[in-house]
Amino acid sequence: MSAEIIDGKAFAAEVRAKVAEHVAKLAERGIKPGLAVVLVGEDPASQVYVRSKGKQTVEAGMESFEHKLDASTSEADLLALVDKLNNDPAVNGILVQLPLPDHIDEDKVINAIDPAKDVDGFHISNVGLLATGQKAMVPCTPLGCLMLLRDYFGSLSGKSAVVVGRSNIVGKPMAQLLLRDSCTVTIAHSRTKDIEDVVRQADIVVAAVGRPEMVTGDWLKKGAVVIDVGINRLPPAEEGAKGKLVGDVDFASASDVAGAITPVPGGVGPMTIACLLANTLTATCRANGLEEPE
């Protein structure tokens, strides 16, 4: 293995510490940021995320409001809750955990959130603001990836970047952020021809595919910097055991070729929640007409 390991866990701890410091300063003015997280149903992975988000929110000195709703909750009831949170001055950030049950229209719910409180950055107006280079609420996972890349490179200007995956929550906003930082950006997806050749052109590879260990070392240019967004649990080796957690990149072969790489776990994952806290702080500062943290 020759690649440098990009330690997302340590970087995320630094981000959280900075957020906590800023939150403590707000407390002196009598301001306490509040984050409301809404979970509908009992998806086990979502429950783990929500618990972790709540814990880290409190650790950063913020108020955490958790709303756990039954899987049978109607769309109208969920929209009514979102409306209530939109109008609650103690709530600065609202996150509705996805996926939602099939009978609820996700777009409708996301677009009902006050864009100023949309700390996930999925509201159509935040998507538009980001795409046009205006001040937006930026989706947490791509924001976390960008922070790691900026920390590694300093400037990203002129780098060629390939984002594998075009989802609204990771791939597309990631591409927008890299473009905003003056990378030459290609988005690859399931219909991309000769995808290995496309990826091999890149100085920066961001893999957000949801396919365990798909990107292997022979897809990479020597020295490429690889950000692995994927979180996939492999089937357990034996019954009753927990399957191994792997990314969308084959770490073993990729780390022989890459210049630097994020591990899974301990790479992008911790950055996502750290950025959620940072976004909640930003939303709070904006709501109070205060200077935003960098």
Site mask, ligand NDP, residues 114-153, x = CB under 6 A?
---------------------------x------------
- d(C-alpha 168, C-alpha 186), whole Å: 16
The answer to whether 118 and 159 have CB atoms below 8 angstroms apart is: no
Whether residue 165 is annotated as binding a ligand: the answer is yes
Residue 244: what are its φ and ψ, rounded to 5°? -70, 145
Q: Per the annotation, does 167 bind a ligand?
A: yes
Nearest residue (beta carbon) to ligand NDP: 167
Is 72 annotated as a binding-site member? no
Burial bucket for residue 75 (CB in 10 Å: 0-12, 13-18, 19+):
middle
Does 190 sit near ligand NDP (CB under 6 A)? yes
Torsion angle (degrees, nearest 10) of CA 228, 263, 226, 188? -20
Number of residues that bind ligand NDP (CB under 6 A): 25
What φ, ψ does residue 238 adopt, rounded to 5°? -135, 160
Q: Would residue 97 show up in a list of annotated catalytic residues for this protein? A: yes
Q: How many CB atoms are closer than 10 A to CB 283?
A: 25
The residue written with tokens 């609820």 in the block is 104
Kindly tell me the burial class for residue 48, based on how many C-beta atoms sit within 10 Å of its own C-beta (0-12, 13-18, 19 or more): exposed
Element (H, E) at 206: strand 204-207
Residue number, 231 or 285, with CB nearest to ligand NDP:
231
- Of 54, 210, 259, 266, the residue at the interface with ligand NDP (CB under 6 A) is 210
Dist. CA 281–CA 19, nearest whole Å: 7
User: Does 231 appear as a known binding residue?
Assistant: yes
**Does 272 sit near ligand NDP (CB under 6 A)?**
yes
Q: Least distance in Å: CB of 172 to ligand NDP?
A: 9
Residue 165 in contact with ligand NDP, rule: CB under 6 A: yes
Query: Which one from 114, 118, 120, 248 is the annotated catalytic residue?
Result: 120
> Exactly one of 53, 117, 159, 172 is catalytic; which is it?
53
Known binding residues for NADP(+) are: 165-167, 231
Active-site positions? 53, 97, 120
Residues that bind ligand NDP (CB under 6 A): 141, 164-167, 169-171, 188-191, 195, 208-211, 229-232, 248, 268-269, 272
Known binding residues are: 165-167, 231
